[in-house]
Structure 1
Amino acid sequence: MSAHHTLGPSSVGSVVLDIGGNTGALIIVTGPEWHGREIEISPKDQDPPLRTHVAVRARHVSSGTRYSAVFPALPAGPYVIWRTPTEPAGTVVVAGAAVTEIEWWQQP
Protein backbone atom coordinates (compact mmCIF):
# COMPACT_ATOMS: atom_id res chain seq x y z
CA MET A 1 0.00 0.00 0.00
CA SER A 2 1.15 3.49 -0.74
CA ALA A 3 0.82 7.01 0.58
CA HIS A 4 -1.73 8.43 2.96
CA HIS A 5 -3.99 11.23 1.68
CA THR A 6 -6.32 13.73 3.26
CA LEU A 7 -9.48 13.49 1.21
CA GLY A 8 -12.95 14.80 1.84
CA PRO A 9 -15.89 12.42 1.72
CA SER A 10 -17.82 11.69 -1.42
CA SER A 11 -21.58 12.06 -1.46
CA VAL A 12 -24.34 9.87 -2.84
CA GLY A 13 -24.13 9.67 -6.63
CA SER A 14 -20.73 11.38 -6.92
CA VAL A 15 -18.75 8.40 -8.25
CA VAL A 16 -18.94 7.64 -11.96
CA LEU A 17 -18.30 4.06 -13.07
CA ASP A 18 -17.33 3.24 -16.66
CA ILE A 19 -18.57 -0.34 -17.11
CA GLY A 20 -19.92 -2.38 -19.99
CA GLY A 21 -18.82 -5.21 -22.25
CA ASN A 22 -15.50 -6.53 -20.93
CA THR A 23 -15.04 -3.64 -18.46
CA GLY A 24 -16.16 -3.81 -14.84
CA ALA A 25 -15.68 -1.87 -11.63
CA LEU A 26 -14.26 -2.99 -8.29
CA ILE A 27 -15.25 -1.66 -4.89
CA ILE A 28 -13.15 -2.69 -1.90
CA VAL A 29 -14.98 -1.92 1.35
CA THR A 30 -12.67 -1.37 4.34
CA GLY A 31 -12.78 -0.04 7.86
CA PRO A 32 -12.23 3.61 8.80
CA GLU A 33 -8.57 2.90 9.66
CA TRP A 34 -7.93 2.76 5.89
CA HIS A 35 -9.31 6.25 5.24
CA GLY A 36 -6.87 8.17 3.04
CA ARG A 37 -4.61 5.17 2.36
CA GLU A 38 -4.08 3.72 -1.10
CA ILE A 39 -4.89 0.17 -2.13
CA GLU A 40 -2.96 -1.30 -5.05
CA ILE A 41 -4.10 -4.03 -7.43
CA SER A 42 -2.64 -5.62 -10.56
CA PRO A 43 -3.87 -8.15 -13.10
CA LYS A 44 -3.05 -11.67 -11.86
CA ASP A 45 -0.23 -13.47 -13.70
CA GLN A 46 1.02 -10.26 -15.31
CA ASP A 47 4.82 -10.09 -15.35
CA PRO A 48 5.89 -7.55 -14.36
CA PRO A 49 2.69 -6.58 -12.57
CA LEU A 50 1.43 -3.16 -13.68
CA ARG A 51 -0.32 -1.81 -10.61
CA THR A 52 -3.25 0.54 -10.27
CA HIS A 53 -4.03 2.29 -7.01
CA VAL A 54 -6.82 4.37 -5.56
CA ALA A 55 -7.32 5.95 -2.15
CA VAL A 56 -9.88 4.79 0.36
CA ARG A 57 -12.46 7.51 0.96
CA ALA A 58 -15.40 8.01 3.23
CA ARG A 59 -18.54 7.49 1.17
CA HIS A 60 -21.76 9.00 2.51
CA VAL A 61 -24.57 6.64 1.55
CA SER A 62 -28.19 6.37 2.67
CA SER A 63 -27.27 3.82 5.36
CA GLY A 64 -24.44 5.96 6.82
CA THR A 65 -20.73 6.21 6.05
CA ARG A 66 -18.78 3.44 4.30
CA TYR A 67 -15.05 3.47 3.66
CA SER A 68 -14.08 2.12 0.28
CA ALA A 69 -11.66 2.16 -2.62
CA VAL A 70 -13.40 2.42 -6.00
CA PHE A 71 -11.70 1.25 -9.19
CA PRO A 72 -14.20 2.64 -11.75
CA ALA A 73 -13.10 0.83 -14.93
CA LEU A 74 -11.06 -2.40 -15.07
CA PRO A 75 -10.74 -5.05 -17.77
CA ALA A 76 -12.61 -8.16 -16.60
CA GLY A 77 -10.44 -10.86 -15.04
CA PRO A 78 -8.53 -11.87 -11.92
CA TYR A 79 -6.56 -9.29 -9.91
CA VAL A 80 -4.06 -9.39 -7.05
CA ILE A 81 -4.66 -7.05 -4.09
CA TRP A 82 -1.29 -6.00 -2.64
CA ARG A 83 -0.73 -5.87 1.15
CA THR A 84 2.76 -4.37 0.74
CA PRO A 85 4.91 -3.59 -2.31
CA THR A 86 6.10 -7.24 -2.34
CA GLU A 87 3.40 -9.21 -0.49
CA PRO A 88 0.02 -10.02 -2.02
CA ALA A 89 -3.01 -10.00 0.29
CA GLY A 90 -5.37 -11.97 -1.93
CA THR A 91 -7.15 -12.07 -5.25
CA VAL A 92 -10.47 -10.97 -6.66
CA VAL A 93 -12.18 -11.58 -10.01
CA VAL A 94 -13.71 -8.53 -11.69
CA ALA A 95 -16.70 -9.30 -13.91
CA GLY A 96 -17.32 -7.41 -17.14
CA ALA A 97 -20.34 -5.08 -17.29
CA ALA A 98 -20.78 -5.39 -13.51
CA VAL A 99 -19.66 -4.00 -10.18
CA THR A 100 -17.67 -6.44 -8.05
CA GLU A 101 -17.72 -5.55 -4.35
CA ILE A 102 -15.66 -7.20 -1.62
CA GLU A 103 -15.09 -6.51 2.07
CA TRP A 104 -11.44 -6.29 3.05
CA TRP A 105 -10.58 -5.93 6.71
CA GLN A 106 -6.77 -6.20 6.56
CA GLN A 107 -4.85 -3.95 8.92
CA PRO A 108 -3.08 -1.04 7.19
Structure 2
Amino acid sequence: MLLDIGGDVGALVVTMPSDRTGDEVEIASPGVTPGHHDHVAVVRRPVPGGDVASLVFPELRAGDYDLREKGHVRAVLRVTIEGGQVTTADWPA
Protein backbone atom coordinates (compact mmCIF):
# COMPACT_ATOMS: atom_id res chain seq x y z
CA MET A 1 0.00 0.00 0.00
CA LEU A 2 1.32 3.44 -0.92
CA LEU A 3 0.58 6.38 1.40
CA ASP A 4 1.18 10.03 0.51
CA ILE A 5 2.36 11.53 3.81
CA GLY A 6 4.74 14.28 4.84
CA GLY A 7 4.74 17.75 6.34
CA ASP A 8 1.51 18.07 8.30
CA VAL A 9 -0.15 15.11 6.55
CA GLY A 10 -0.19 11.65 8.12
CA ALA A 11 -2.15 8.44 7.67
CA LEU A 12 -4.16 6.08 9.88
CA VAL A 13 -4.32 2.27 9.83
CA VAL A 14 -6.83 0.60 12.18
CA THR A 15 -6.85 -3.15 12.80
CA MET A 16 -10.44 -4.36 12.89
CA PRO A 17 -12.19 -7.52 14.12
CA SER A 18 -12.52 -9.91 11.17
CA ASP A 19 -16.32 -9.95 11.45
CA ARG A 20 -16.37 -6.21 10.59
CA THR A 21 -15.18 -6.78 7.00
CA GLY A 22 -17.38 -4.71 4.68
CA ASP A 23 -18.53 -2.29 7.41
CA GLU A 24 -17.90 1.42 6.86
CA VAL A 25 -16.24 3.73 9.38
CA GLU A 26 -16.39 7.55 9.38
CA ILE A 27 -13.73 9.95 10.59
CA ALA A 28 -14.22 13.55 11.75
CA SER A 29 -12.73 16.11 14.08
CA PRO A 30 -13.98 15.78 17.67
CA GLY A 31 -17.28 17.52 18.32
CA VAL A 32 -18.33 17.57 14.67
CA THR A 33 -21.97 16.57 14.37
CA PRO A 34 -22.96 13.57 12.29
CA GLY A 35 -23.41 14.21 8.63
CA HIS A 36 -21.43 13.37 5.54
CA HIS A 37 -17.83 12.67 6.58
CA ASP A 38 -14.92 10.88 5.00
CA HIS A 39 -15.42 7.16 5.36
CA VAL A 40 -13.77 3.93 4.28
CA ALA A 41 -14.73 0.28 4.27
CA VAL A 42 -13.09 -2.44 6.31
CA VAL A 43 -11.26 -4.80 3.96
CA ARG A 44 -8.97 -7.78 4.37
CA ARG A 45 -5.38 -6.93 3.48
CA PRO A 46 -2.51 -9.35 2.96
CA VAL A 47 0.12 -9.60 5.70
CA PRO A 48 2.88 -12.16 6.16
CA GLY A 49 1.20 -15.46 6.98
CA GLY A 50 -2.35 -14.49 5.98
CA ASP A 51 -4.52 -11.42 6.00
CA VAL A 52 -6.02 -8.96 8.46
CA ALA A 53 -9.20 -6.88 8.49
CA SER A 54 -8.30 -3.21 8.57
CA LEU A 55 -9.21 0.25 7.44
CA VAL A 56 -6.89 2.91 6.08
CA PHE A 57 -7.31 6.67 5.93
CA PRO A 58 -4.39 7.55 3.63
CA GLU A 59 -4.15 11.35 3.96
CA LEU A 60 -5.13 13.18 7.16
CA ARG A 61 -4.00 16.57 8.42
CA ALA A 62 -2.27 16.39 11.81
CA GLY A 63 -4.73 16.59 14.72
CA ASP A 64 -7.31 14.65 16.72
CA TYR A 65 -10.03 12.60 15.07
CA ASP A 66 -13.03 10.56 16.20
CA LEU A 67 -13.98 7.35 14.40
CA ARG A 68 -17.50 5.97 14.43
CA GLU A 69 -19.58 3.48 12.57
CA LYS A 70 -21.02 5.18 9.49
CA GLY A 71 -24.31 6.86 10.32
CA HIS A 72 -23.88 6.62 14.11
CA VAL A 73 -23.40 9.49 16.55
CA ARG A 74 -21.17 7.92 19.22
CA ALA A 75 -17.43 7.94 18.65
CA VAL A 76 -15.87 4.51 19.14
CA LEU A 77 -12.22 5.51 18.93
CA ARG A 78 -10.19 8.76 19.15
CA VAL A 79 -6.78 9.01 17.50
CA THR A 80 -4.13 11.68 17.16
CA ILE A 81 -2.49 12.00 13.75
CA GLU A 82 1.08 13.27 13.50
CA GLY A 83 2.29 14.76 10.23
CA GLY A 84 4.68 12.57 8.27
CA GLN A 85 3.78 9.43 10.24
CA VAL A 86 1.46 6.45 10.01
CA THR A 87 -0.64 6.16 13.15
CA THR A 88 -1.87 2.67 14.05
CA ALA A 89 -4.75 1.72 16.33
CA ASP A 90 -6.95 -1.24 17.22
CA TRP A 91 -10.75 -1.02 17.05
CA PRO A 92 -12.20 -1.89 20.47
CA ALA A 93 -13.71 -5.36 20.70
Counterpart for residue 21 of structure 2: 35
Distance (whole Å) between structure 1 residues aligned to residue 29 and residue 11 of structure 2: 13
| TM-score normalised by structure 1 residue count | 0.75
Q: Is the 8 A contact 1:43 1:49 kept in 2?
A: no
More strand by share: 2
1:1-108 mapped onto 2 (5 Å cutoff): 15-46=1-32, 51-83=37-69, 85-106=72-93
| TM-score normalised by structure 2 residue count | 0.86
Runs of 4+ aligned residues of structure 1 deviating over 3 Å after TM superposition are: 45-50
Residue correspondences, number: 92
Letter in 2 for 1:72: P
Distance (whole Å) between structure 2 residues aligned to residue 53 and residue 85 of structure 1: 12
Letter in 1 for 2:66: V
Gaps of 5+ in 1: 1-14
CA change 1:92–1:50 in 2 (3 A) is farther
Q: Is the 8 A contact 2:77 2:91 kept in 1?
A: no
Gaps of 5+ in 2: none
Distance (whole Å) between structure 1 residues aligned to residue 27 and residue 83 of structure 2: 17
